Structure 1
Amino acid sequence: MVFAGNGELPGLQFVPDGGPKRAAVQTTSNSLLSLAKIFQDSMSSGSPSVGLVEKPTGVGDILALYYLSLSLQESPSTANNVGILLASVQQPAAAVSTGTWTSQPTIPGITPGTGLSLALAYYNYGLTLDPKHVHLHTNLGSLLKDIGQLDLAIQMYEQAVQCDGSFDIALTNLANAVKDRGRVSDAITYYKRAVKSNPDFAEAVCGLFTALNSVCDWRGRGGAWIQGGDSDRWHVDEEGMLMDAKKQMLSSGLTMKVVDIVTRQLEDASSWGMGVLQDEDITFLATQLHWDDAGLLPAPDYASKLRAWSKKPWEGSRLVRLVERATRVAMRRWYHDQYVQGTKKSDANYERARLPPSLTVPTAPTVLPFHTFTCPLTAKHIRMISQRNAFRISCSTLRSAWLPSTVYPPPPPPSPHLNVGYVSSDFNNHPLAHLMQSVFGFHDTSRVKAFCYATTASDKSAHRLQIEREAPVFRDASSWSSEKLVEKIVQDQIHILINLNGYTRGARNEIFAARPAPIQMSFMGFAGTLGAEWCDYLLADTTAIPPETLRSWRSNASLVDVFRDKTEEEPGEHKVSWESEQLRRWKMRKELFPDLPDDTVILGNFNQLYKIDPTTFRTWLRILSNVPRAVLWLLRFPDLGEANLRRTAKAWAGEEVASRVVFTDVAPKSQHISRARICDLFLDTPECNAHTTAADILWSSTPLLTLPRYRYKMCSRMAASILKGAMPKSYEGTQALEDLIAGSEEEYEAMAIALANGLSYHIGPAGYGQGGGRLAALRKLLWERH
């Protein structure tokens, strides 16, 4: 594979055959293997191997060492290491020579001749040498999972666990995979086995924490000591009983382990990329910045500033930010030259700043951005987790072989309309489509033209069909490569590109990292910061993002209340409809809960159960204790959570209160919205609010009580934002908001008790229950509004 048929390493030519030759070959092979591993570990950590080489080692150098070692001595472990390295290579098939690997396995999602294809071949080759090699089974499973072959991946992980039932990585990967298949109970079992095998394995600890919280099994959860105990105040011990954080004044349990892992990983992130800046990189970047800034500073001044970063903490992070900002500046310079000055220059004048080739793709923290919604972390932790994920996406994209050497050409000025692109994997039967299906058709095409880029295939749902029908331009990009989608966005001359995914399942954030549009922003899909240079703006109101949380030097923040308008209603306009609504609501109430007394107050929450935290559930139980006529209506979302919440309710509040927690199955969307009106008061989850569900609830005219628990977590403030948009901009609307938006946990509890106890029903002449009290008035206000 490396030498000619009669070739031999020079140092082995004169070693006698037999035992001495075999020993020399083995020693040489192992030495090459050890050197390759040193370089590979150094590359994975993002820091160069100090004292070994003057320049950081690249993937090609490491592969050469592995190939040499493998040519001298076949080894499943070496084949595994080669597979890992090849799987990380981003290279188009045309650029790869398959050599002797003429019979590479073909699997959907893998293009023959690519790094992934070669990695698959080496993994399979290694398994022919050792069919019970646990690392080969595990890494092959991960490769299959990454290309969307989840069932095949699960089979491979299961084989790995059969080979070694205590291998923590295989157990954790299997847990992750079966959880993605909806097998949460099996996932928890595998996570627990992994943690038992290795209590310090971050992926297993964090995976177990997330899985247990998703089904409200809080035994041993403990809690975090943040904001002086005002948030996540009530911790849970190993027996499932409550502990007051304000008395303990420290973190505890599984939560403490997760917070410690996050803290350590974010501290370690500062060393990523230290020492990668070489003289040629500094010279190139300095020259690039000099031209992009129109010569405001001489190139040597930029070089001096760059040298000040070298071998310092956060070197890699600063470099990525610099390169991405330089890309924006180059695109702006191109626009200014061509459309302001009227000067047409060669594309080569707008060269893309490049990352040093030795800067590796960084690892992301174990806790994902989406999981920060329900994990009690500080503002700094949440921001940095998003930033680390953004750096990973940026670094991976900027190293892609398909990315051109110049920045993408900017679109011409809007004439006659602005082109706005929307990229999403959720243009199907998904909450985002439920909310936005009509938005794209509402664009005034004489001023703004909407382009929808769907990155998933059609599910033929009514939501998808409406978007396809009403969007001025709809493109099914589900089968497109990143390169093709980016090029199409450029061809469509998009001025503003909107990310409707953020850090959610199915996101194609690499599209934004390639910077195909001059302005890029985030909206709707992810309720938080993306922490990315490839996201220029986040569209939100001052409730979701309080002005005081913005950095004072931010000059590009536009704080406009765009969600509220004023409407005028004629007195009595909804009188008949309101009476019909009361009758319909009462009939549905009796159909769904036929055994409830007429005066029962139905409190409800229809979120997925992962949004419930111990502090919130304790508050709900205290509300039930103080409202004897009330029941709490929850969904089996998932069904495993019901038994855990019933057990917890009994332990914390007693049998009688626990008996008033009722569960129903999740209903189809249309039925869900219809039956939401049965609920008298929706109790929001303060840790992570109802988002789409809040809109559904208010659309059904059901009052919603919320608490924006954090100033710095957008996900805990969304319901208040939606509530403000739902209320009329009038004195009555202002008073309603005061009754439904709490300022503290204690206020939330007291307001719920007062509203619930103030509600009464009497059977009117028409034979249906008519509500009285403040809750009934709030419902009517919402009904008249919508």
Structure 2
Amino acid sequence: MDERLKEAVSLHKKGALMPAQAIYRDILRLHPRHADALHYLGLIALQQGQTQAGVELIGQAVEIDGCQVPAMSNLAMGLLQLGRHVEALGCYNRALQLRPEAIELHYNLANALLGLNWHDEALRACERALKIKPDDAALLQNRGTALLLLHRYQEAITDFERVLALNPDNPEVLNNRGLALAALGNYDEALASYERALAQQSDFTDALNNRAIALTSLNRNTEALASCNRALALKPDFADAHNNRGNALRNLHRFEDALASYERALRSNPNFREALQNYGAILFVSGMFEQAAHAYARLLQLAPDEDYVLGSLFSCLLRCCSWAQYAQLKERLVQMVRAGKRAATPFSLLNASDSPADQKRCAQIYAADLFPGRAASPRPGARHRHDKIRIAYLSADFHNHATAYLMAGLFEAHDRRRFEVCAVSFGQDVHDEMRGRLQRAFDRFFDVREKSDIEVAQLLREQEIDIAVDLKGFTFGNRTGILAQRAAPIQVNYLGYPGTMGADYIDYILADRHVIPEEERQHYSEKVVYLPDSYQATDSKRSIVQQVPGRGQVALPESGFVFCSFNNCYKITPAIFDIWMRLLQQVPGSVLWLLEDNRTASASLRREAAARDVDPGRLVFANRMNQGEHLARMKLGDLFLDTLPVNAHTTASDALWAGLPVLTCLGQSFAGRVASSLLHAIGLPELVAKSLEQYEELALRLAASPSRLAEIKARLAANRASFPLFDTARFCRHIEAAYMHMWERYQKGDAPEGFAVP
């Protein structure tokens, strides 16, 4: 019998499974409880993919002979394939009790635990085995992998480098080392590690995909795209590579192609959460808000606590003016943020909470998660001393954009005897009239689209920039990661984002006492610098087309009072819309003139009007047009109705510049107090209501009193030339005084501190 078993085992080892199987069966016909024959016959079943049969046969062998360590190990392997994880781990542990020095068993146990995502247990298994054999490369690799998955990246790198000292050409270890380096933000080193892995194994699709991620993080998106394409040529259904290809295309502003890549990733893996989130985001930036909302809703079904998705869904529904879930989502978002959850981006929270405390908490969570500080402030010994203070304005919007409309005059007005002013542009190179004007306005214009955050920060250091002014904050297209590198000794949050950034590397926020009352300063991580009039820059050179269109040309009725609000539709809330509809009901023949933001929102607003017994035809929607023509048509409005909790910002400035009175309601947070700031600076504080009830009452009074409204319009026209709001030169002197004081404090070695410009 022993000879027959030896013959079968020999055939088995040579891969002659069928003859070996026949002999094992012959043995079992004569000796049904022959443990070795049962074990090996079960092993053949596993090799042939007959997992259940294999487990049953090997299980019988182990029952007969409980000391068969190889049988226990193979049984564990089969049980894992059947998803019977606890039983499998029990087999490994029983085998290790019999042979505690068996390194292969420790290795298999650790592998099994890693496969089950039981990372802590895998780490402990590796550490027990390494006490027996401290320099075992396979065990060190497994321990490094466990540490990587436990986010203990530096320890993982140490283990991977020990393995590479033994085997410098191990592509899997080089790939995993790259993952750990990337997680620490060391993308250049990670890229080098992936390149070494690919030098050993050019068809290593995981390394090609990870290389693409590193390249994207370094803003080398064209190369990232090529790396994804290489991976997909080898593995066409590689969902991760399709997703990362979409990321590279998105960063290259090829949104349609990015959308197709995310869709391809989701066809390969319908429950791929990261791809689904990216898909929703690209739909959002493409203006397909309804489809984006469906994507986010589906993602929340898969993962109810997925980071930032609830806030993204809330934003999409606001863009659609779809309010069925408004109150519920708003309350849920606020509670999650207060609990420290990553529920919303700071920008998406603005419409959910008017509380500066909530907004600060949200910003702190977001900044710590996505933009942690990467470097300490420059040491006092590194202070630069120039004849002129060097200021860098950072933005993606140096073209026809709301920020540029406000800031262009300031850029031109800066005193070149005292200041050297440069632009750091990370937006698209749009060849429009405003772009040309701005390029002429700056002393230097740096296009950094293809540079990484680290490279841009290094550029600012090389240019010895004294003050970096971030004009984006937490708005779309921001590059907060540049400031997280401490790109300049003084870093300022201004204009783009109406709130705190919650990051200790942003030193100051420029404000006024209307947008940030002194008692609210505690809710800003930055030191508050108060400008004396309004915090908002304006451009006194903005042109308005002289030819005002007729009412019929813009679809307005020839008579009747025109309430208007050209805010983006996401700022319209149910409470505000209720007031607007009551105004239409109480002012016969009046209409509400709104911006046509997207057709879904317009249709929703018409339905909401009908639900409030208002003829939807009394809502008139204005298409977008160039700035000069838009300002001219604003003259046809009678009263601009502001929104809350997010006011009109640039749009309020537009209206006042065009001579259209703005009625606002004072909110609690910065975003809800901007119009108040502007109205005080133009000498019309009576248009700032203290409550929604007062807002509604005042709107009704003005609509019913043409003489009173005419008097306000006349004052607005007169004040435009004499009050501070549109005095660009005056504003420039004030902001330069602020920059000078910041710089002087820094030169003296004093920490940032809040102050007021006299």
Would the aligned equivalents of 1:564 and 1:724 in 2 still touch at CA under 8 Å? no
Report the more deviating stretch, 126-135 or 495-504: 126-135
Q: 5+ residue gaps in structure 2?
A: 1-12, 16-42, 44-69, 78-103, 124-145, 537-543, 721-758
Q: Residue 659 of structure 1: SS of its match in structure 2?
A: helix
1:784 equivalent among 706, 715, 718? 718
Would the aligned equivalents of 2:510 and 2:528 in 1 still touch at CA under 8 Å? no
Is 2:336 the partner of 1:261? yes
Q: 5+ residue gaps in structure 1?
A: 1-15, 44-48, 224-252, 268-364, 566-580, 728-735, 760-772
Q: 1:659 to 1:161 in 2, by over 3 A?
A: same
Aligned to 1:373: 350
Aligned to 1:701: 659
Superposed CA offset, 1:490-518 (max 9, x none): 23332222111111222222222222322
Is 2:503 the partner of 1:532? yes
Displacement of 1:64 after TM fit?
Answer: 7.7
Displacement of 1:139 after TM fit?
Answer: 6.2
Would the aligned equivalents of 2:564 and 2:641 in 1 still touch at CA under 8 Å? yes
Q: 1:38 to 1:441 in 2, by over 3 A?
A: farther
Q: 1:66 to 1:707 in 2, by over 3 A?
A: farther
Q: Given residue 500 of structure 2, which amino acid in structure 1 is its aligned partner?
A: T
1:743 equivalent among 674, 690, 700? 690
Superposed CA offset, 1:323-342 (max 9, x none): xxxxxxxxxxxxxxxxxxxx
Would the aligned equivalents of 1:408 and 1:515 in 2 still touch at CA under 8 Å? no
Aligned to 1:92: 188
Aligned to 2:635: 677
2:450 equivalent among 479, 485, 489? 479
Aligned to 1:543: 514
Aligned to 1:752: 699
Q: 1:441 to 1:639 in 2, by over 3 A?
A: same
Q: Structure 2 CA distance, aligned partners of 1:113 and 1:195?
A: 27
Aligned to 1:609: 569
Q: Given residue 337 of structure 2, which amino acid in structure 1 is its aligned partner?
A: V
Higher Cα radius of gyration: 2
The alignment yields a C-alpha RMSD, in angstroms, of: 4.7
Map 1:99-114 → 2, pairs under 5 A: 99-102=196-199, 103=202, 111=215
Would the aligned equivalents of 1:681 and 1:704 in 2 still touch at CA under 8 Å? yes
Is 2:320 the partner of 1:215? yes
Displacement of 1:155 after TM fit?
Answer: 3.0
Q: Structure 1 CA distance, aligned partners of 2:308 and 2:412?
A: 43
Would the aligned equivalents of 2:171 and 2:196 in 1 still touch at CA under 8 Å? no
Aligned to 1:391: 368
Would the aligned equivalents of 1:370 and 1:503 in 2 still touch at CA under 8 Å? yes
Displacement of 1:699 after TM fit?
Answer: 0.3
Q: 1:40 to 1:483 in 2, by over 3 A?
A: farther
Displacement of 1:741 after TM fit?
Answer: 0.3
Q: 1:427 to 1:33 in 2, by over 3 A?
A: farther
Q: 1:66 to 1:371 in 2, by over 3 A?
A: farther
Q: Given residue 330 of structure 2, which amino acid in structure 1 is its aligned partner?
A: T
Aligned to 2:623: 665
Q: Structure 1 CA distance, aligned partners of 2:636 and 2:604?
A: 25
Q: Given residue 606 of structure 2, which amino acid in structure 1 is its aligned partner?
A: R
Q: Percent identity?
A: 27
Q: Given residue 388 of structure 1, which amino acid in structure 2 is its aligned partner?
A: I
Would the aligned equivalents of 2:360 and 2:525 in 1 still touch at CA under 8 Å? no
Q: 1:745 to 1:517 in 2, by over 3 A?
A: same
Displacement of 1:424 after TM fit?
Answer: 1.5
Is 2:521 the partner of 1:518? no
Q: Structure 1 CA distance, aligned partners of 2:291 and 2:718?
A: 48
2:585 equivalent among 614, 625, 631? 625
Is 2:155 the partner of 1:58? yes
Q: Structure 1 CA distance, aligned partners of 2:565 and 2:470?
A: 29
Aligned to 2:680: 724
Would the aligned equivalents of 2:310 and 2:333 in 1 still touch at CA under 8 Å? yes
Would the aligned equivalents of 2:217 and 2:452 in 1 still touch at CA under 8 Å? no
Would the aligned equivalents of 1:603 and 1:633 in 2 still touch at CA under 8 Å? yes
Q: Residue 439 of structure 1: SS of its match in structure 2?
A: helix
Q: Given residue 345 of structure 2, which amino acid in structure 1 is its aligned partner?
A: L
Would the aligned equivalents of 1:110 and 1:147 in 2 still touch at CA under 8 Å? no
Superposed CA offset, 1:390-424 (max 9, x none): 224553634xxxx9x97596443452x32222121
Q: Structure 2 CA distance, aligned partners of 1:688 and 1:388?
A: 21
Superposed CA offset, 1:611-634 (max 9, x none): 111111111111112211321101
Would the aligned equivalents of 1:681 and 1:705 in 2 still touch at CA under 8 Å? yes
Q: Residue 497 of structure 1: SS of its match in structure 2?
A: strand
Q: Structure 2 CA distance, aligned partners of 1:426 and 1:690?
A: 19
Superposed CA offset, 1:460-505 (max 9, x none): 2111111111223333333334344333322333222211111122
Aligned to 1:419: 390
Map 1:637-656 → 2, pairs under 5 A: 637-651=597-611, 653-656=612-615
Aligned to 1:636: 596
Would the aligned equivalents of 1:40 and 1:62 in 2 still touch at CA under 8 Å? no
Would the aligned equivalents of 1:98 and 1:113 in 2 still touch at CA under 8 Å? no
Q: Given residue 157 of structure 1, which amino acid in structure 2 is its aligned partner?
A: Y
Superposed CA offset, 1:402-453 (max 9, x none): x9x97596443452x3222212111111111111112112111122232222
Aligned to 2:292: 187
Q: 1:42 to 1:488 in 2, by over 3 A?
A: farther
Q: Structure 2 CA distance, aligned partners of 1:552 and 1:154?
A: 38
Is 2:133 the partner of 1:173? no
Superposed CA offset, 1:17-50 (max 9, x none): 985699487984572473595559999xxxxx99
Would the aligned equivalents of 2:351 and 2:645 in 1 still touch at CA under 8 Å? yes
Report which of the two has the higher share of helix.
Answer: 2
Q: Residue 348 of structure 2: SS of its match in structure 1?
A: helix
Displacement of 1:544 after TM fit?
Answer: 0.9
Displacement of 1:535 after TM fit?
Answer: 1.2
Q: 1:150 to 1:635 in 2, by over 3 A?
A: closer
Q: 1:123 to 1:464 in 2, by over 3 A?
A: closer
Q: 1:260 to 1:140 in 2, by over 3 A?
A: farther
Aligned to 1:596: 558
Is 2:310 the partner of 1:205? yes
Q: Structure 2 CA distance, aligned partners of 1:510 and 1:611?
A: 28
Q: Given residue 654 of structure 1, which amino acid in structure 2 is its aligned partner?
A: D
Q: Given residue 395 of structure 2, which amino acid in structure 1 is its aligned partner?
A: S
Q: Structure 1 CA distance, aligned partners of 2:289 and 2:277?
A: 13
Displacement of 1:456 after TM fit?
Answer: 2.8
Superposed CA offset, 1:519-554 (max 9, x none): 221111111111111111111110011112123999
Q: Residue 635 of structure 2: SS of its match in structure 1?
A: helix
Would the aligned equivalents of 2:564 and 2:639 in 1 still touch at CA under 8 Å? yes
Q: Residue 533 of structure 1: SS of its match in structure 2?
A: coil
Would the aligned equivalents of 2:212 and 2:225 in 1 still touch at CA under 8 Å? no
Q: Structure 2 CA distance, aligned partners of 1:628 and 1:477?
A: 55
Is 2:597 the partner of 1:500? no
Map 1:6-405 → 2, pairs under 5 A: 19=43, 23=74, 28=107, 31-32=110-111, 34-35=113-114, 37=117, 58-60=155-157, 88=183, 90-92=186-188, 95-96=192-193, 98-102=195-199, 103=202, 111=215, 138=243, 141=246, 145=250, 150-165=255-270, 168-199=273-304, 201=306, 203-221=308-326, 223=327, 253-264=328-339, 266=340, 365-376=342-353, 378-392=355-369, 394-395=371-372, 397-398=374-375
Would the aligned equivalents of 1:635 and 1:664 in 2 still touch at CA under 8 Å? yes
Q: Structure 2 CA distance, aligned partners of 1:613 and 1:518?
A: 41
Q: 1:632 to 1:393 in 2, by over 3 A?
A: same
TM-score (norm 1): 0.65
Would the aligned equivalents of 1:87 and 1:116 in 2 still touch at CA under 8 Å? no
Would the aligned equivalents of 2:314 and 2:330 in 1 still touch at CA under 8 Å? yes
Aligned to 2:35: none
